[in-house]
Amino acid sequence: MRLREYIIRRLILLPAILFGISLMIFMIMQCFTPAQRAVAYVQSTEEMLNIDEIIKRYHLDEPLIMQYFYWINNVLHGNLGYSISANMPVAQALATYFPATVELVFLAIPLMLLLGITFGILAAVYRDSVIDHIVRFFSISAWSLPSFWSAIILLAFFYGALGMFPPGRLSPHIVLSLSQSEFKRYTGMYIIDGILNGRLDVSLDALNHVILPSLNLAILSSALPMRIMRSSMLEVLNKEFIIAARAKGLSKWMVIWKHAIKNALIPMITVAGIMVANLITGVVITETVFNYPGLGRFAAGAATSLDMPGILGFALFAGTIYAVTNLVVDILYALIDPRIRY
Amino acid sequence: MVKLLGSVEIESVKPLIMELKFILKRIRQSPLSIIGISIIVFYIILAILAPVLAPPEPGRDPYIMPSYGISPVPKPPSKQAIWGTTEGQYDIYYGCIWGVRTAFRTGIIITVGSMIIGILIGCISGYYGGKVDEIMMRITDMFYAIPTIVLAMAIVVLLGIGLDNVIKAMIIVGWPTYARLMRAEVLRIKNEDYIEAARAIGCSDFRIMVKHILPNAIYPVIIMASMNIGNVVLAASALSFLGLGSPAGYADWGAMIALSRNWILGLPGNPLAFWHTYIIPGLFIFTFVLGWNLLGDAFRDMLDPLIRRR
């Protein structure tokens, strides 16, 4: 009963957070003159000449509160303005680039957790040993690594020197064959669409392209889970039930596997929000270096060409994703650990 | 009377000395933090000696790297440019050395700027409580709702491209962390007896905040700031790399790596021909940030009240 109450209360909070995000974006936009803001909706040269009409149509010269309502109404109807850098409406750009990023991130997250959890456990079990020192040094290093630098090194070594894992999303010959054949884009994610269309060559080619960027993303983001896993594992290993399990004759690794890991994983959920924020930031840089056509590269492109609707649309989108994942994480946390009720 | 005054003075200095002693003890205990400090000291020396190590031509902006020609293709190390040149024939050695100053400047201005705003807002919010607190903290929450780098990118686009604007944007997105920490500290302190006593003898709110709360609440904030310098430099260099910060030719490590982007794949038959254009500036960023983070790692325990004085 209390769990349901908690979840409902947490769900009610979500619109408030989303309202905060929209207010933030709206305030940034208000730093521009109505004419500058009107340009965001311009899609052709004829419209450019009738800028006053656009200001009228989008109510850009009305009182602030009215403007906010008109603007949020537009946003909720999917009209986020026109992105010059992507050469299409912002909402369409977000929809186009999103699947590629999902593909990248969903490959990076398991890699990140695998790296983080495995080495975190090893460091805790062999506390103050060589392994522990190496893991701690690695996690501080990964935390200090410029993402664009590691991406460039990976690209130069694997693609430049060894000719493996090319940048981009698909090889040119695959793109050509896709345009000639009937290839249905069910999800926009080529690895899955390839399987659904019975075109394994497409899936493999997409995988070949996505491996290196997701590896870069995983290495960079593994620092935090590694650190959290190590410290929570250390804490759990000192608990009485672990000593009791050892005392009844279970082997060391049996105790770790059966009793310690499950309990040590719980604090990992608390930092999931920070991990998501790290991933969003990492995606912007990683996709830019690997020329991977996802949301991150779109955002970087929009920022460098001073495409205000593009970057604000991305910020709104990223903020929403961030808020929703935090909500899911909080509810998961309450479900997994019955002691947690805020 | 004089003696009494003296002892009062010593009492007020005592927490500061204790805190410093505690920090020094912690630093001595951990070899990693000593490596961190050594790296930072090394960089401070580099920053001070920059005009000696890489003398700028008189009469030009020392932060603009000298360029030896107009060919875009980077050149390997030579007598003239001992670490080679990057795209546009900019001297990598010169850029890396003067980049130390850029890194310190961006790191310190951003950190101190956001710390001051954070302390102000956290102090007022925690001290007055009630509606003021509610409004200020909700505004703080709004800044947390969007990932910081994304928000910083949007603000740079608003302000215009340039290193100064990157610094401003990073301050705008950076203060909420300090405000939250400061507010928590003020809430802890404001119910202490000595605050009550100060109020009883008629001290103004301003005097209580500046004289009694601030000196007792500020240490965790300063420790957090020193932990953040590395990350702030990392984020600023990422924005410079994307092309939102320093212009090409400015001694900024992130912008220098951006110059190498067209040359990552090297020459046919020699794929790693231009390694020096990205490896060297990258090593500077990496070790600089690593130094601060190694130090911060030792400081992290001090922030944690549970394990603070074990």
Domain residue ranges of chain B, discontinuous segments joined by +: 26-308
What whole-number distance in Å separates Cα of residue B153 and Cα of residue B159? 10
Please compute the mean of the pLDDT values over residues A271-278 and round it to a whole number.
Answer: 84
Please compute the mean of the pLDDT values over residues A267-271 and round it to a whole number.
Answer: 82
Q: What sign has the CA pseudo-torsion A219, A224, A229, A235?
A: positive
Please report the DSSP string for A120-159 in residue order: HHHHHHTTTSHHHHHHHHHHHHHHHS-HHHHHHHHIIIII
Is A94 in the B-facing interface, judged by CB distances under 8 Å? no
pLDDT in tens, A25-82: 888 888 877 777 777 777 766 766 777 777 777 777 778 888 888 888 888 888 888 8
Please report the DSSP string for B157-175 in residue order: HHH-SSHHHHHHHHHHHHH
Cβ separation of A307 and B264 shorter than 8 Å? no
Please report the DSSP string for A177-236 in residue order: HHHHS----SSS-HHHHHHHTT-HHHHHHHHHHHHHHHHHHHHHHTHHHHHHHHHHHHHH
Residue pair B224/B142 in contact (Cβ under 8 Å)? The answer is no
Contacts of A161 in chain B (CB under 8 A): 271-272
Output the pLDDT for position B178: 92
Beta bridge partners of A88: A83
State how far residue A98 is from chain B, nearest Cα, in angstroms: 16
pLDDT in tens, A235-254: 888 888 888 888 888 888 88
Regions in chain B scoring below 70 on pLDDT: 1-15, 26-27, 29, 298, 300-310
What whole-number distance in Å separates Cα of residue B171 and Cα of residue A84? 28
pLDDT in tens, A279-320: 888 899 999 999 899 899 999 999 888 888 888 889 989 988
Is pTM, for the whole model, over 0.90?
A: no
What whole-number distance in Å separates Cα of residue A230 and Cα of residue A245? 20
**Chain A contacts in chain B segment 128-157 (CB below 8 A):** 138, 141-143, 145-151, 153-157
CATH topology of domain B26-308: MetI-like fold (1.10.3720)
Cβ separation of B149 and A307 shorter than 8 Å? no
Output the pLDDT for position B144: 84
Output the pLDDT for position B301: 59
State how far residue A222 is from chain B, nearest Cα, in angstroms: 16
Output the pLDDT for position B72: 78
Angle, helices A272-289/A308-336, rounded to nearest 10 degrees: 140
Query: CB-CB: which of B157, B260, B272 is closest to A306?
Result: B157
Cβ separation of B238 and A285 shorter than 8 Å? yes
Residue pair B56/B255 in contact (Cβ under 8 Å)? The answer is no
H helix or E strand, kind and range, residue B245: none
- The structure tokens listed for A56 are 């009228």
Tell me the CA distances in angstroms from B127 to B66, B139, B154, B221, B293, one per residue in order: 52, 17, 32, 16, 32
